[in-house]
Structure 1
Amino acid sequence: MSPAAAPAPDFLAVINANQGILHRICRLYCPDADDRQDLYQEIVLQLWQSWPRYQPTAKVSTWLYRVALNVAISNLRQRTRRPVPERFGAVPPEVAPPPDPGPDADDLAQLYQAIGRLSDVEKAFVLLYLEERTYEEMADILGITQNNVRVKMHRAQDKLRQLLTQAA
């Protein structure tokens, strides 16, 4: 190991430190609690399988977001291609409710419902924005240029505003 190379962090420590991120991604892409748990497990499995290829020179969060978002989007596309037969009398939920209802629970539920109506890619942009990631970090995570991030972010924000205005 060269003196400039940082030691790789412990996998379990990375997962434990970033559980919130993983759960938020799962909540955005899966309305059902069982599906969210399955997606979480699939993301952790994919992270584990790609762990040997992780380069300690890159930010752990960038690598984690990239893998997790790719798995979530792939999972969503598979579910929409092969819809699960509905249970008798089951009504599919639109978007999962927020975990902690508080004084702003209605507003938060409305926001999640609007985000649920965005495209897969738009959801990723909104999630990264809500996580207060810079455009540079978003570009690294999503593998696009910063200018492209700005354009797509602006479009996603406009669409989200329209959805929230329609709901009000």
Structure 2
Amino acid sequence: MPPDAPSQPFVALINEHQPLIRRVCRLYCQDADDRQDLFQEIVLQLWRAYPRYEPRAKVSTWLYRIALNVAISNLRQRTRRPAPDRLDWHVLEMAQAAEAGYEPSQIDELYRAIEKLSDVEKAFVLLYLEDRSYEEMADILGITQNNVRVKMHRVQDKLRTLLARLV
């Protein structure tokens, strides 16, 4: 067996889910170099955790959990800033339709608004944009589905307020 054979499934996994990891990086880092550093750190932590991955868990749930934890830890290490203000749900719709022809300026506006969210709120936005169910969100974030519903409602309110301020 070649020495790199055990890594082949991991590389395939990363290649398949690279867009997910890059979206996490985009939400938590403004600078392209910082995004690349975060991407590499997430992949490193995934590699370290890979031997303990249990196939009974959904791979995307496992990936999200690690990627979000690394991104939030990384952000907290880089800056210690107060919890930001609010955003708008319209921005989320813009992000979902970004590939359907929204202008780059609108997408940039969306990410500027998302940057104003707290670390945890960004995680909710990301999971929403990925069309994750409340059940999946609860599993990824380690909270109850009812708590997900409450927090999603609060994030929606913040997004509406932030988008109104941006206009």
User: Matches of residues 96-111 of structure 1 in structure 2 within 5 Å?
Assistant: 103-111=102-110
- CA shift in 2, pair 1:142/1:103, >3 Å: closer
1-structure distance, mates of 2:40, 2:107 = 26
Structure with the larger RCO, 1 or 2 (CA within 8 Å, 6+ apart): 2
**Map of 2:46 onto structure 1:** 47
Q: From the superposition, tell whether residues 47 and 163 of structure 1 become closer, same or farther in structure 2 (CA, over 3 Å).
A: same
Q: Where do 1:135-154 residues align within 5 Å?
A: 135-154=134-153
- TM-score between the two structures when normalised by the length of structure 2: 0.82
User: Displacement of 1:12 after TM fit?
Assistant: 1.1
Report matched runs for 1:38-77 at 5 Å: 38-77=37-76
The residue that corresponds to 1:30 in the other structure is 29
What is the alpha-carbon distance in structure 1 between the residues aligned to residue 58 and residue 105 of structure 2?
A: 35
Residue aligned with 2:57, SS: coil
Q: Tell me: CA distance 1:17–1:35, structure 2 relative to 1, closer, same or farther (3 Å).
A: same
Question: Sequence identity, in percent?
Answer: 71
- Describe the SS at the equivalent of 1:18: helix
Q: Secondary structure at the match of 2:75?
A: helix
After superposition, residues 68-147 of structure 1 pair within 5 angstroms as: 68-81=67-80, 103-147=102-146
Distance 1:67 1:103 in 2: 30
Cα distance change of structure 1 residues 103 and 134 upon mapping to structure 2, 3 Å threshold:
closer
Deviations 1:92-147 (A, max 9, x none): xxxxxx998x6522221111111010000000000000000000000000000000
Gapped regions of structure 2 (runs ≥ 5): 1-7, 81-94
Q: Please list, as runs of the form range in 1=range in 2, the aligned pairs for 1:145-164 lying within 5 A after superposition.
A: 145-164=144-163
**Separation in 2 of the partners of 1:74 and 1:124?**
13
Structure possessing the higher radius of gyration over alpha carbons: 1
* Secondary structure of residue in 2 paired with 1:126: helix
Which residue number corresponds to residue 93 of structure 1?
none
TM-score norm. by structure 1 comes to 0.81
RMSD across aligned positions (CA): 1.7
**2:91 is matched with which residue?**
none
Q: CA deviation at 1:57?
A: 0.5
* Number of aligned residues: 143
Q: Give the secondary-structure state (helix, strand or coil) at the position aligned to 1:10.
A: helix
Distance 1:159 1:103, change over 3 A: closer
